[in-house]
Structure 1
Amino acid sequence: MLNADALQQLRQLKTDIESSKVVHNGTVKATNGRFGFVALDDGRDLFLPPEEMQKVLPGDRIRVSETQGDSGKVQGLVEELLESRLNTFVGKYLVKGKGHFVVPETPGINRWIFIPPKHRQNAQPDDFIYCQILRHPIKDGKGQASVRKVLGKAEQPGIERAFTLATYDLEEQWPDAVQKQLENLDEALVQRLAAGREDRREQPYVTIDSPNTQDMDDALWAEPNATGWRLSVAIADPTALIEPGSPLEAEARERATAIYFPGEPRPMLPEALSTKLCSLMPGVDRLAMVCDIQVNNDGSLGDYQFRLAVIRCQAKLSYELAANVIEGREDDDTRALSDTVLRNIDQLHQAAVAMRKWRAGNALLNVDRPEFRLRLDENKRIRQIDPAIPTEAHRLVEDCMVAANRCAADALSRHGRGLFIQHPGLRDDKVDNIRQLLAEHAGHLAEVDPTSPEGFMRMMRETEGLAGELPVKSVISRQLARAELSFTPAPHQGMGLAAYTTFTSPLRKFTDFQVHRLLKSLLWQEPGQDLSEAELERLQAAQIKARQAANSLENWLKSDFARQMDASTAISGVITRTTPAGFFVRLDSNGLEGFVSTKSLPGKYSFDPITLRLLGKDRFFQLDQPVTVTFAGIDEERRQINFNLVETPSAQS
């Protein structure tokens, strides 16, 4: 037995050891392997060996000490869990002997997690399940989970959507408080509210949208005048029916946006509102916030006014039908339209052409990109993929929406209060690369400051269609920053505008819904509340998560669809993205994107961060380059399509 002195010496030794440790705080970063890293707060990455990685989960905030591994390299030793950000995850149910486990599908959790008997929810082997961490593995590397929901088997129709919703913690059902609030919203309420509004029911508003769209949130009307056109953009007004601070508004803010999953969207507002009481359907009275704009003959915008009105749309047009009218193609559908509607479409088109011409000379236009429509079968998997070719009707609607949104941004700016979308142009970490790119491949722009609004606009205009072997505009476009929400007006450099916001999709985006609240507060002193900084951050994070979820589901469906491709058939495509490990190719026929790894190519390649080229000894690969590929399989973990390059006599050399 140790005496008191020996015990004291041991305690002191332990204290000395603890005090001599080099301890840091950081965030756990997972890898595809069993090891990981800690992103330390001082900017360094510290290696975590497999035995330490077993104690933590991706995203954990931990305190870690430095120690020397068997190889002599410095590595991390987990000391303490500060915060665990991973609460729920999805995986597959596994029974091994008497043990029941979940095999996580979450990247970076490379282990089985035990599920205790009372927390199994009658899940069966190979079921996809939605789980919650029950016991963190920090103490001994042995975590536990509970099953919150059984999602179904891999072959079940719609499992991809259910899996994606669970992965991103997106709730499908409406809360009870929302359901109760909906009980008090009906057509009678719409009529009562309409009584105090400007009556626009005789004006020939029309909607132009996809044939199956039911949540129609914009309607258009234009008439000529002495100096151009009076353009009237009527936007659905859900804020009239939804009380500020109510459960419905809180749920809409939480959802942030409608997610247009293939086949079955996840709406921001319940269908009772988004496709019925608020949707600008033809032949019924609907509440709207109307923006009347003077469009001058040169396409510039003059005076504008916002009105709270009641409208009654005269027609619901598809893009195809509106385009047929614009381009003079007659058929039974176009002949069935009234002369009033036909005249309205003609005037809308004339105003839109003028506005587009003005933006081409004074701002920046979005370039039409190839788009494709996924058509699903009865099992909710892709049956075929069709090209979606933008028409003159698509451009008409875009120009009218941009005009109305510019007016909303101006109105908010004049009152010094609002919700804006700003775009800083280039990513901060790419500015030096772009300067070098311009110096080497667009010498006439070498002295341009690409970070200023004027310089950015000139750079984007003058690199469009620039002659040369390098697609300079595409290289720049791959290095742009993401648009951000802001309380103060700032340039939207991607559009070449001094300030911008959106209010034209309040049934689908909470930012637009909130701009309606702000405009009503400023113009008509209606109740409304600004978002806090924290709420703005959460709203932007929710928007990003929604985009990630939609992309994730699309990639899953597309990778399954690609399995039917014949590996012996050569298919044409174009390079859309390059990385140090290879390049992505978009197929011309159906828009599927797949990866060609440099490991599958002869020779070695280096990545040039200036031109975004992959450089080999006798050839290179770059953006927009046509290539021919064959199907090489699916990366199951990433749900990524892989291609092999077909070597042809015309390949670069």
Structure 2
Amino acid sequence: MIQDVMNEPAYVPMKLKELALLLNIPKEQRRELQRVIDYLLEEGKISMSRKGKLGRPETFSEAGIYSGHPKGFGFVTIEGREQDVFVPREKTKGAMHGDKVLVVIEQESDGGRRAEGSIVRILEHANQELVGLYEKNGGFGFVIPDNPRISRDIFIPQGCDAGAVTGHKVIVKIKDYGNGPDKKPEGVITSILGHMNDPGVDILSIVKAYGLPEEFPPEVMAQLEEIPDAVREEDKAGRKDLRDLPTVTIDGEEAKDLDDAITLEKTEQGYRLGVHIADVTHYVREGSPLDREALKRGTSVYLTDRVIPMLPHKLSNGICSLNQGEDRLALSCIMEINDKGVVIGHEIAETLIRVDRRMTYTAVNAIITDDDAETKEKYKEFVDLFLQMKELSQLLRKRRQERGAIDFDFPESKILLDAKGRPIEIKPYERNAATKLIEDFMLMANETVAEDYYWQEMPFLYRIHEKPDEEKMAKLGTFINNFGYTLRMPGGEVHPKELQKLLEKIEGTPEEALLSRLTLRSMKQAKYSTVNSGHFGLAAKYYTHFTSPIRRYPDLQIHRIIKECLHGNMDARKTAHFEKILPEVAVQTSALERRADEAERETDKMKKVQYMEHYIGEEFEGVISGVTNWGFYVELPNTVEGLVHVNELRGDYFVFDEAHYELVGEMTRKTYKLGQTIRVRVTACDRYARTIDFMPAVYWK
């Protein structure tokens, strides 16, 4: 009856008393009415405003995406709201991480507190299948999801375990999502990946959990049969022939998909830089099975022991890879650059190239940084070329820094595995002069191409990085004041040059790691867009991704547009076609890029835990990289990070001083603060939670 009333077209939200009068319910029966309303609220059939008015579920609610926390509570991200809405565990209505939900805001944000709400309905479940660890319990069992953000186990009834035993990593299909945080979802096991300790099962679990594609479908493999192993003579016709120019690729030792090559000549004005990119679109035609699969994948994913490529190896490591000594089709951006590092002219053309030498970052760095005699002798015919590249690179980098480009230089991890996929060494992978040189040339090509097609007013895909939120920047400014730094924000906005200055000031200080990470987190994520709004981090007005069509779909799509323009085919029909498809391509490829990044991070965390298992009880010296109210994090020289829980700090009661990011002993006044060197002992490694625990080594003396 209550729902009937609320479904009336003329219905307006009302309070309980008003509803009771409308339904002609006497006072003595209103307690029963309250019970009915509580039930309907619990079921999400109705909702209640902050002022106690009752209405349809959508009356006071807003739609958003739910992000779960391992402890059971979560947050709902709502388009247009600055901050997420906090949802307590008892008000999640059983929502799982990623679900689209309706949430009612019960308490708006107040100063430092987030807005708080209650989920009234789940609109769309994000997880039809999950990967997890199976635990058998008599005739039934449970699957503990690998994703820690999904805090509820999946109940597996008798006869639904597909023969799995305790310790198996499995895929479970959810049949019943449960209702509320206390009723477990129910499912059936559809696949057993192997035992958790079997080689390769750990990374396979991540591949499955993130829905990363493995095999290419039959129609893609069939199309590969039509693609030649070498460039056909007829395909060379009409192209600018650059095979006489000294041409090199510079990549990592293990790289097999070489999609960019470099030429450089000295000119009267300065330099002629050629950035030559594999012409992948010649073989991957729009709408073909290869193209559809590439868009579905969005990007290649680089996990520690495998690559999940966007394109099959016949293309990525074969005909589209700029291999030494082979004729290859390319799309080239040839730039005339003056002695100030300014591009004064350029040409974008379909070309034919042949790489003379496949170089590595290590070898080039040995020449241009270390002046290594043996390496210089080995590559003597190219030494002058590399030294000219170094000159131009420094010129381009200096000009970019002058305009305010921000250069975050966090050390990445290089994880070496044995034949069974076990980590045997972890070390920081540092950028050197050779890697920076290639970065500088690729950035220049990306900017040049973006600016060209922006002014041609062609439908295009840009790589954008929006300005940070003023509120986040204001919070960062307040925080860094505690360390004696300031951030100029005239009119509430910050220029990238200000952040660049901050990073320069903190370089080499104890607080560098924390403040660099906080600065990065205060900024927005870069993404793809059809609207050119500039790249804040690079302080660039125009930017795109042109240089990696083997491993990124947006680059492939951009090449297609460029070639249509070069051939004079961009008529009204083609323009309308690209204007129609590009917005969805931008959204999809941005999302797939984030998925790949998350999978790569989780794989690295997992391998670091496995590596440190062999060092439980051993001592290491590290640096405090983060301080919280539950303890502090210590980063070892090999990039491994672990937590010293506050309970492990003995001999005093330690309190978190948020203003200075340090833990202070109440009696001894002993402090643990950022940048402090500390010796720790490894006490525990949790493969499942992917965490490493330390304790101060002094307690073991």
Residues 130 and 231 (structure 1), Cα distance of their counterparts in 2 relative to 1, 3 Å cut: same
2:453 aligned residue (409, 412, 421): 412
**In the alignment, is residue 356 of structure 1 matched against residue 406 of structure 2?**
no
| Distance in 2, Cα, partners of 1:535 & 1:516 | 14
Residues 597 and 191 (structure 1), Cα distance of their counterparts in 2 relative to 1, 3 Å cut: farther
1:287 aligned residue (329, 334, 347): 329
Indicate the residue corresponding to 1:244 in structure 2: 286
Task: Give the AA of the match of 2:560.
Answer: R
Indicate the residue corresponding to 1:585 in structure 2: 634
1:102 Cα deviation (Å)? 3.2
Indicate the residue corresponding to 2:476 in structure 1: 434
Task: Give the AA of the match of 1:132.
Answer: K
Q: Spell out, residue by residue over 1:384-424, the C-alpha distance to the aligned partner (whole angstroms, 9 max, x if none).
A: 12343433212211111111111122112212342222223
Indicate the residue corresponding to 1:552 in structure 2: 602
**In the alignment, is residue 626 of structure 1 matched against residue 686 of structure 2?**
no
Task: Give the AA of the match of 1:126.
Answer: G
Instruction: Give SS of 2:191's match.
Output: strand
Residues 234 and 607 (structure 1), Cα distance of their counterparts in 2 relative to 1, 3 Å cut: farther
Q: Contact 1:464/1:473 (CA < 8 Å) preserved in 2?
A: no
Residues 282 and 40 (structure 1), Cα distance of their counterparts in 2 relative to 1, 3 Å cut: closer
Q: Which moved more, 1:276-285 or 1:624-633?
A: 624-633
**In the alignment, is residue 316 of structure 1 matched against residue 366 of structure 2?**
no
Q: Contact 2:231/2:329 (CA < 8 Å) preserved in 1?
A: no
1:428 Cα deviation (Å)? 4.4
| Distance in 2, Cα, partners of 1:483 & 1:545 | 14
Q: Spell out, residue by residue over 1:570-629, the C-alpha distance to the aligned partner (whole angstroms, 9 max, x if none).
A: x222233344433332211x12111223333342333536x6555665355554443332
Q: How does 1:499-578 map to 2 (within 5 A)?
A: 499-525=542-568, 529-530=578-579, 531-569=581-619, 571-578=620-627
Q: Which moved more, 1:637-646 or 1:548-557?
A: 637-646
2:126 aligned residue (66, 79, 85): 85
1:483 aligned residue (526, 529, 533): 526
Indicate the residue corresponding to 1:597 in structure 2: 645
1:284 Cα deviation (Å)? 0.7
Q: Contact 1:408/1:503 (CA < 8 Å) preserved in 2?
A: yes
Q: Contact 1:293/1:301 (CA < 8 Å) preserved in 2?
A: yes
Indicate the residue corresponding to 1:4 in structure 2: none
Q: Which moved more, 1:636-645 or 1:405-414?
A: 636-645
Indicate the residue corresponding to 1:305 in structure 2: 347
Q: Spell out, residue by residue over 1:217-247, the C-alpha distance to the aligned partner (whole angstroms, 9 max, x if none).
A: 1111111111111111111111111111222
Q: How does 1:169-208 map to 2 (within 5 A)?
A: 169-187=211-229, 190-208=232-250
Residues 123 and 462 (structure 1), Cα distance of their counterparts in 2 relative to 1, 3 Å cut: closer
| Distance in 1, Cα, partners of 2:138 & 2:481 | 66
1:266 aligned residue (308, 313, 329): 308
Residues 368 and 136 (structure 1), Cα distance of their counterparts in 2 relative to 1, 3 Å cut: closer
Indicate the residue corresponding to 1:651 in structure 2: none
| Distance in 2, Cα, partners of 1:65 & 1:400 | 50
Q: Contact 1:613/1:621 (CA < 8 Å) preserved in 2?
A: yes
Indicate the residue corresponding to 2:196 in structure 1: 154
Q: Contact 2:152/2:185 (CA < 8 Å) preserved in 1?
A: no
Indicate the residue corresponding to 1:330 in structure 2: 373
Q: Which moved more, 1:148-157 or 1:164-173?
A: 148-157
| Distance in 1, Cα, partners of 2:454 & 2:103 | 48
Indicate the residue corresponding to 2:264 in structure 1: 222
| Distance in 2, Cα, partners of 1:374 & 1:319 | 18
| Distance in 1, Cα, partners of 2:467 & 2:85 | 28
1:393 aligned residue (434, 446, 452): 434
Task: Give the AA of the match of 1:181.
Answer: Q
Q: Spell out, residue by residue over 1:15-66, the C-alpha distance to the aligned partner (whole angstroms, 9 max, x if none).
A: 8865685625576664545x546859797545454xx879654444567899
In structure 1, the gaps of 5 or more residues are 1-7, 68-74, 649-653
Residues 136 and 408 (structure 1), Cα distance of their counterparts in 2 relative to 1, 3 Å cut: same
In structure 2, the gaps of 5 or more residues are 1-22, 48-56, 107-115
| Distance in 1, Cα, partners of 2:526 & 2:437 | 24
Indicate the residue corresponding to 1:5 in structure 2: none
Instruction: Give SS of 1:242's match.
Output: coil
| Distance in 2, Cα, partners of 1:243 & 1:532 | 16
Task: Give the AA of the match of 1:129.
Answer: V
Q: Which moved more, 1:362-371 or 1:536-545?
A: 362-371
| Distance in 1, Cα, partners of 2:486 & 2:389 | 39
Residues 626 and 483 (structure 1), Cα distance of their counterparts in 2 relative to 1, 3 Å cut: farther
**In the alignment, is residue 296 of structure 1 matched against residue 359 of structure 2?**
no
What percentage of aligned pairs have identical amino acids?
Answer: 25
1:82 Cα deviation (Å)? 3.4
Give aligned pairs, total.
623
1:449 Cα deviation (Å)? 5.6
Residues 477 and 54 (structure 1), Cα distance of their counterparts in 2 relative to 1, 3 Å cut: closer
| Distance in 1, Cα, partners of 2:434 & 2:165 | 51
Instruction: Give SS of 1:401's match.
Output: helix
Residues 456 and 135 (structure 1), Cα distance of their counterparts in 2 relative to 1, 3 Å cut: same
Residues 81 and 384 (structure 1), Cα distance of their counterparts in 2 relative to 1, 3 Å cut: closer
Q: How does 1:443-454 map to 2 (within 5 A)?
A: 445-446=487-488, 448=490, 451-452=493-494
Q: Spell out, residue by residue over 1:367-399, the C-alpha distance to the aligned partner (whole angstroms, 9 max, x if none).
A: 544344211001111111234343321221111
Q: Which moved more, 1:287-296 or 1:366-375?
A: 366-375
